[in-house]
Structure 1
C-alpha cells in the first residue's frame, strides 16, 4: 500500500509508504488520504491525526507521470478532494517531517496544526520552475505565516530551504533528530487525544473561521490557473526537461 492508514488507540496515522518513488503522490494516494480524513471527521473515536513520511523523505510532491496521465480536471479530482479535506479538518492535525518535503509535500503542512521536522529536513515549492502556480492556498497561507517577501522568494524562485529556515518562517514548530521525529509527533498527538475534543474543536474553529472563506476562494482560483498552466507550453517544456534530465529553456516563451 502506498498510503498506510493505521489506528493507535484514538490517534489515526496517515503515512506515505512509497519510499522507492520518494513518496511521490499519485491520484490513488490522494483519494486514499481524502477518504481517511473524511472518515476520521465522522468517527468520534478518532481524536487526533498524524501525517508522516519516511526518514529521509516526507514526499517529493506529485508523481509527474501519474499527474500527466490523470491531470486534475474538475473539483472532484482526488487532489482537490484531499485539499478540501485537509483544509476543513476539524480535528488536530500533527505532521511529522523526517526528510525532504517538495511541492504539495510542503504546502499540505500549512494546513496542519503542528509540524515537527527533522533538523536535516528540507523544503521546496518549485511550482514556477515547472511552469505552474502555487496550490493548496499556499499563495495565501505562506505569506500570512512568513510575510510577503519570504513567501515571494520561496514561491517565485522555488529553491530548497532548510529546516531552520522553515522554523524561522513560522510553519515548523520544533526541530528534532530525524530518528526521533515520528515518536515525538505521536506523543504530541496522544496529548491532544487526551484533551476535551470539544475544546480543541472550538479552538480550531475560532482560529480558522475568519480565514475559511478566503482560503476556499484562493484555493479555487489557484486551481483554475493551475489547470490552464498545466496545458501551457511552459509546463510542457518543464516536464519534458524533467524526464529528459536536462535544464528547461523558458526564454523561448514570452
Structure 2
C-alpha cells in the first residue's frame, strides 16, 4: 500500500496521504512522492487541476518523529531536502491546487495550505503551528503570509503561542475558505477541483500567475531565510530537548536555556 496515492481522473490529479496508522505523519519519502507528483502535474498537459487530501479522518499530524532530526538538519543549507522541495513545488505549481482538510493539520500540515489556491476544512479539522514549542521557527513562508492574511496580532497568537485552533479561526485567519460537514468535505472539494479542471487552462494559469506576482520576490527571500534559520535551530539544543521529551513521554524543560538577546 502506497503512502502517497495518486489518481488522475478527467483532468484532475488527486494526491492523497495514506498513512492512517501514523496519522499521515510525513516522512522524507512521502515529501519526495508529493514533490514528484506536483512536478509531474505541472508538466503534464492532461492534468488541469490538483486536489490534495488526507481523507476524512486526518490530513497530516506533521513530521514523522523518526525523520524529524534529519529533515532539514544538513550542514549545508543550500542542499535541497524533500520537504523543502515539496513546498517549492507546491508554491510554484502553475495548475490550481485545492486542499481538503479533515482531522489534524499540524505544523507543515497547516503551513502548506498557505500555498494552495483553495482550502476547504471539515468541522473536525484541528489546525496548529507549534514550531516554537519544538524549539524551531516558522517555515514555508508562514511568518510572512500569516501576518499578511490574518493581521499581526492573530499571527502572533497562532505562531508564538502555537496552540490548536478551530476551522472557523482558520477561515478568519485566511488559511481556509470554508468549513463543511465531514461527510460533505470531499464531495465539495472534488466539485470545486473539477470546475477548475474544466476551465480554459491558459487563462486560468495566467490568472493564478498574476494573482501571485505581487510579493513573489519577497516571499522567495523570506522562505530562504526561514529555511536557513529552521535548519540552524533544528540542529540546536532546544529542538533536541523537544524531541527527547516527546520520545520519553515527558514535558520538555526549556528553563536551562538563556533568553536570546
**TM-score higher than 0.5 here?**
yes
Q: Is the 8 A contact 1:135 1:219 kept in 2?
A: yes
1:191 alignment partner in structure 2: 195
- In 2: Cα distance, 1:158 partner to 1:120 partner: 19
Give the CA deviation at 1:119. 1.4
**TM-score, normalised on structure 1?**
0.97
2:162 alignment partner in structure 1: 158
2:223 alignment partner in structure 1: 219
Give the CA deviation at 1:75. 3.6
What does 1:123-202 align with in structure 2 at a 5 Å threshold? 123-202=127-206
Tell me the secondary structure at the aligned position of residue 202 of structure 1.
Answer: helix
- In 1: Cα distance, 2:5 partner to 2:57 partner: 17
Tell me the secondary structure at the aligned position of residue 8 of structure 2.
Answer: strand
Tell me the secondary structure at the aligned position of residue 134 of structure 1.
Answer: coil
- In 2: Cα distance, 1:203 partner to 1:162 partner: 30
2:66 alignment partner in structure 1: 65
1:246 alignment partner in structure 2: 250
**TM-score, normalised on structure 2?**
0.95
- In 2: Cα distance, 1:139 partner to 1:222 partner: 8
Q: Is the 8 A contact 2:59 2:109 kept in 1?
A: yes
Give the CA deviation at 1:71. 4.1
Tell me the secondary structure at the aligned position of residue 69 of structure 2.
Answer: helix
- In 1: Cα distance, 2:81 partner to 2:53 partner: 23
- In 1: Cα distance, 2:206 partner to 2:72 partner: 36
Farther-moved stretch of structure 1 (124-133 vs 214-223)? 214-223
1:20 alignment partner in structure 2: 21
Gaps of 5+ in 2: none
2:42 alignment partner in structure 1: 41
How many residues are treated as equivalent by the alignment?
254
Tell me the secondary structure at the aligned position of residue 123 of structure 1.
Answer: strand
- In 2: Cα distance, 1:50 partner to 1:141 partner: 22
RMSD: 1.1
- In 2: Cα distance, 1:239 partner to 1:196 partner: 48
Rate the CA distance shift 1:145–1:70 in 2: closer, same or farther, 3 A.
closer
Tell me the secondary structure at the aligned position of residue 29 of structure 1.
Answer: helix
Give the CA deviation at 1:210. 1.5
- In 2: Cα distance, 1:247 partner to 1:167 partner: 31
Rate the CA distance shift 1:75–1:178 in 2: closer, same or farther, 3 A.
farther
- In 2: Cα distance, 1:90 partner to 1:72 partner: 29
Give the CA deviation at 1:67. 2.1
- In 2: Cα distance, 1:70 partner to 1:44 partner: 32
Gaps of 5+ in 1: none
Q: Is the 8 A contact 2:16 2:54 kept in 1?
A: yes
What does 1:232-243 align with in structure 2 at a 5 Å threshold? 232-243=236-247
